[in-house]
Amino acid sequence: MDKILRIDMGAEGGPKITESPVGAYAGLGGRALTSSVVASEVDPLCHPLSAANKLVIAPGLLSGSIAAMSGRISVGCKSPLTGGIKEANSGGQPAQVLARLNYAAIVLEGKPKEDTLYKVFINKDGAKIAEDKSLNMLSNYQVVEKMKGEYGNKIACISIGQAGEMRLSAASIAFTDMELRPSRHAGRGGVGAVMGSKGVKVIVIDDSGCSTRQPKDPEKFKAANIKFIEGLRSHPVTGQALPAYGTNVLTNIVNEAGAYPTYNFKQGRFQGAAKISGETYAELETKRGGLATHGCHSGCVIRCSGIFNDKDGHFLSKQPEYETVWAHGGNCGIDDPDKIALLDFLDDDIGLDTIEMGVTIGVAMDGGLIQFGDVDGAINLIKEVGKGTPLGRIIGSGAAVTGKVLGVEKVPVVKGQALPAYDPRAVQGIGVTYATSPMGADHTAGYAIATNILKVGGYVDPLKPEGQVELSRNLQIATAAVDSTGMCIFIAFAIMDQPETFQALLDMLNAFYGLELTAEGVAELGKKVLKTERDFNMHAGFSQIHDRLPGFFKTESLSPHNVTFQVKDEELDTAFNW
């Protein structure tokens, strides 16, 4: 991966494609690469939908090789939802395909002079771009079907649905999975709106004739990869729980802990949780001839995804993730697994972030637009977005906008981005991450990465309430580091508990690139990425007052444990003191 593909959408005479060496960005992948390009090349004060913003799509450092779990892809830009820097990532096939074509990144820049749509085709002979008005307002599934008709089945697609075309702030970018379905999404922050503003509807990539990327030291690399896979398979989370039930295995325990935000963050428990748990979905999937265990990209050994069929055995959606089931389920008082799967499909098809949509509908329910539990009303609201009606455009602009329009006080967002599925009153440490992450409220910004193995920060006694800010800081640094390798974040559990599995990951990187990277070096990279992102946000107008949870988390207690968010503002302000 030694070149960057740039497409200037606003060039004189039409979009202009150039290829250049990675240059100053050499050695970076995933989030490290997207955030570096955005920080270096985008004016922090620009309008996110203007020609001055750039959309960066970058596979991970080991994508395109035989390394397990290396199929993650990052998307970066200035976010139309938060107004700050954004990195959203996704699974699917495009990371592997793009890397085998030797591209470290695609950068879309400028803006077409006319309101039209383009498709990009990339293969071993290079990239081509063509205007195609027939793609206008097609959904993700429709546009991928059309591309299959034009280019065959051996492709991968990166596309936007109607939401991206309308440049709505909750728009996602879809990445096709192994079945060529646009079911994997870089969901957060409205990255799809930025792709829409560039006038690019779909990027079709075909790696026919390309071979797997080869490491500098094949023997060492192969041995490390085997050890890494063994570590993933032997761990109870990556080897058993995730393959058996997917991420939605969390529903029952988060609900049991009273940390499951219900009815727009009014309660910590949902009566219907067992009806929509991962255990229930897995049983339905197996019974209906779907799949409870399935990978979203080649080289995945965890296989936390699945295929959810309807009662007649026809494909309805991929296995909905925990966050999706929560957002459209418990948060809206809905306990019908089939209808939640349909909402998941509609989000994927129209190209919407499922977390943002579920929270937005919860806010709309709180505002009296429809009642909590009104599943058909929720489905209609998502369909309104796809149609582009005035109400649909409001909903598709996310929870903060919808809350303002409907006069709702309780709007669970940080930096304009909806909170994910863990109530920060019950799990206060994650509230620190929601508040302080440069990304806005994001559960993956401070993931369960092995701070001890990465040697980030000092020891924090797990059984004492003190030190939550320090721990959140350490987790954010460690997560930024792992995001920068472009590995699937679910490797976290195995590398957290098994130092030898983390060492195997380092050995893979070192054998591939001929490096001598250490745990400390990885942690330093994480700090650098976070600092870059914080600096961008500061220049975009963010200050400490934006590192706050909405006030109601401090004043309204959460049942069943009757807790409020207790971390003081002064403590939050120390989150990035290192």
Partner 1 sequence: MQSGPTISLTFIVSFGALKGFFPILQQGFFVRIMTGSSLEQVLTEQMGIEEGYIEKRISTIFLNGRPVDNLHGTLAHDGSILSLSAAMPGLVGATMRRKGTYASFRSAIAYREENDVGTRRKNEGLIEVKLFNLLMAELGPHFFKRGIYVRADELSDLISPIMADLRQGRGLILFGDRPVSADAVKEILKDMGPDLIQVFVIGQKDVVP
Which residue carries 């909402």 as its tokens?
343
| Binding pattern for the stretch 485-524 against partner 1, x by CB under 8 A and - elsewhere | -----x--x--x----------------------------
253 contributes a contact to partner 1 by CB under 8 A: yes
- DSSP bridge pairs for 131: 118
Of residues 67, 63, 6, the one with CA closest to residue 29: 63
- CB of residue 259 vs partner 1: minimum separation in angstroms? 7
Torsion, Cα 568 570 574 576, to 10 degrees, reads: 80
DSSP code of 321?
P
Tell me if the bond preceding 560 is cis, omega within 30° of 0.
Answer: yes
Distance, in Å, from the CA atom of 259 to the CA atom of 257, rounded to the nearest integer, reads 5
- Longest Cα–Cα distance of the chain, Å, equals 64
Q: Which two tokens stand for residue 148?
A: 């299959």
Q: Residues binding partner 1: what is the number (CB under 8 A)?
A: 58
**Which residue's CB is nearer to partner 1, number 378 or number 481?**
481
**Using CB under 8 A, which of 166, 205, 254, 477 touches partner 1?**
254
Which range, of 111-119, 253-261, 505-513, 533-541, touches partner 1 by CB under 8 A?
253-261
Amino acid at 317: S
289 contributes a contact to partner 1 by CB under 8 A: no
Amino acid at 126: G
Of residues 92, 87, 62, the one with CA closest to residue 159: 92
425 contributes a contact to partner 1 by CB under 8 A: yes
Q: Which residues contact 467 (CB under 8 A, 6 or more apart)?
A: 460, 461
- Detail the DSSP E strand segments found in 110-162: 118-123, 126-131, 156-159
240 contributes a contact to partner 1 by CB under 8 A: yes
**Which residue's CB is nearer to partner 1, number 133 or number 464?**
464
**Which residue's CB is nearer to partner 1, number 249 or number 346?**
249
Distance, in Å, from the CA atom of 203 to the CA atom of 320, rounded to the nearest integer, reads 25
| Binding pattern for the stretch 308-347 against partner 1, x by CB under 8 A and - elsewhere | --------------x-------------------------
**Which residue's CB is nearer to partner 1, number 365 or number 445?**
445
| Binding pattern for the stretch 263-282 against partner 1, x by CB under 8 A and - elsewhere | ------x----x--xxxx--
Which residue carries 């697609």 as its tokens?
157
CB atoms within 10 A of CB 69: 28
**Which residue's CB is nearer to partner 1, number 265 or number 447?**
447
Which range, of 62-70, 152-160, 247-255, 501-509, touches partner 1 by CB under 8 A?
247-255
**Which residue's CB is nearer to partner 1, number 132 or number 336?**
336
Q: Which two tokens stand for residue 565?
A: 């968010």
Where do contacts with partner 1 occur on this chain (CB under 8 A)? 236-238, 240-242, 244-245, 247, 249-250, 252-254, 256-259, 269, 274, 277-280, 283, 304, 322, 422, 425-430, 443, 446-448, 451-452, 460-468, 471, 475, 490, 493, 496, 560-561, 563, 566
